[in-house]
């Protein structure tokens, strides 16, 4: 199996310009690799830098040091830490999806439109995009009468499931997913993990941040624990 992602000595510090350029440590010196069709779970205490790590891989944040080598289909091996914005945008459209902990509400756009727009953007016909979107909405138990409603009014768990569908409907090569089961009951958690397992089986590699280790264990092949004292490096545990 080929490696799809190599994170090497990655660190992120934040500089707070409003507070006399105070430095805040996001995370320090993280290294791990991920093979195709493999899933890694990122765990660690609150504030240890899990979300910041995902955002550095997705390049929402620019890492302070280190590299993130992604074995891209389009560009070949590319360092996401230093790639141009143009290339990052192409990769986000074609190969890498990210699911944040929070749903970004788009005013007056219905649930089915939000989900199917990801396929329309990639050239699918409207009818087919709506059909595929409806299958995902059904699988993750979004009630049919909400499909044409605006998600601003949805419950936290419904918004979270929509967020997940939006990212996985395009079957990315690399999925970065932050706390996918956080506000879900056990039944919905299992459905989300089932869907992610299917995606992985079809070829997607996954980096997931978890507090819910029971759900995580069903999905991942290995776990990376960001240690409490983040300056001491980190360890990779196989489970």
Task: Provide the 8-state DSSP code for 17.
Answer: G
Q: Which of 30, 32, 43, 52 binds ligand ATP (CB under 6 A)?
A: 52
Q: Burial of 39 by CB count in 10 Å (0-12 exposed, 13-18 middle, 19+ buried)?
A: buried
Strand order in the sheet with 205-209: 96-99, 174-178, 205-209, 39-43, 222-225, 235-238
**Which residue, 1 or 18, is less far from ligand ATP as judged by CB?**
18
Count residues binding ligand ATP (CB under 6 A). 11
By the rule CB under 6 A, 172 interacts with ligand ATP: no
Give the shortest CB-46-to-ligand ATP separation in angstroms: 3
Cβ contacts of 232 within 8 Å, gap of 6 or more: none
Instruction: For tokens 């955002």, name the residue.
Output: 55
Q: Is 51 one of the binding residues for ligand ATP (CB under 6 A)?
A: yes
Nearest Cα residue to 60 out of 74, 32, 81? 81
Q: Which is nearer to ligand ATP, 115 or 234 (CB)?
A: 234
Q: Considering only the stretches 49-57, 69-77, 108-116, 127-135, report the one whose residues sit in contact with ligand ATP under the rule CB under 6 A.
A: 49-57
20 binds ligand ATP (CB under 6 A): no
Contact residues toward ligand ATP (CB under 6 A) are 14, 24, 26, 44, 46-52
């Amino acid at each position: 199996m080929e490696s799809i992602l190599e994170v090497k000595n990655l660190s992120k510090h934040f500089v707070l310009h409003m507070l006399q350029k105070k430095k805040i440590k996001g995370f320090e010196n993280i290294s791990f690799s991920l093979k195709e069709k493999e899933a890694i779970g990122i765990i660690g205490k609150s504030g240890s830098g899990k979300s910041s790590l995902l955002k550095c891989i997705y390049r929402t944040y620019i890492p302070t040091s280190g590299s993130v080598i992604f074995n891209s289909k389009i560009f070949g091996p590319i360092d996401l830490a230093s790639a141009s914005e143009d290339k990052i945008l192409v990769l986000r459209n074609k190969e890498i999806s990210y699911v944040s902990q929070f749903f970004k509400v788009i005013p007056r756009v219905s649930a089915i439109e939000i989900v199917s727009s990801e396929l329309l953007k990639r050239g699918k016909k409207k009818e087919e995009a709506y059909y595929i979107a409806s299958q995902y909405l059904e699988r993750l138990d979004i009630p049919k009468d909400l499909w044409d409603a605006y998600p601003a009014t949805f419950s936290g768990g419904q918004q979270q499931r929509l967020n997940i569908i939006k990212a996985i409907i395009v079957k990315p090569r690399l999925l970065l997913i932050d706390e996918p089961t956080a506000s879900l009951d056990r039944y919905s958690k299992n459905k989300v993990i089932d869907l992610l397992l299917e995606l992985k089986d079809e070829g997607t590699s996954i980096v997931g941040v978890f507090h819910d280790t029971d759900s995580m264990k069903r999905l991942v092949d290995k776990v990376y624990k960001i240690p409490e004292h983040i300056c001491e490096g980190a360890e990779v545990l196989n489970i």
